Amino acid sequence: MNLNLDTRGPLPDPLDEAQRAIEDTIADGLAHVRAQMRKQAVFTGQCLSCDAPVGPAQRFCDGHCREDWERAERARARNGA
């Protein structure tokens, strides 16, 4: 005789919920690391945001381009790109 009167299905298993939380945390960490790795782009002589020429060891032509690039990188990291 089955006494299960719950028609919504089985209750979530706490271990399954913990596993999902762990996997989400790992995915967020990987996205962060990937974003940090992109920030270490190789010097090309051009601004990473607008392609304007930049001096030796510079990655951006000014603060505005740096902020725009960082904002775009954060968006890529959030979107898993």
Tokens of 52: 């304007």
Please give the model's pTM, rounded to 2 decimal places. Answer: 0.48
The helix, strand and coil proportions of the chain, stated in percent and rounded to the nearest 5, come to 50, 0, 45
Share of the chain above pLDDT 90, in %: 35
Work out the number of other CB atoms within 10 angstroms of the CB of residue 72. Answer: 14
What sign results for the dihedral spanned by CA atoms 80, 61, 41, 36? negative
pLDDT of residue 69: 87
**pLDDT tens per residue across span 41-65:** 677 899 989 999 999 888 899 999 9
Residue found under tokens 């089985």: 10
* CA distance linking residue 56 with residue 59, whole number of Å: 9
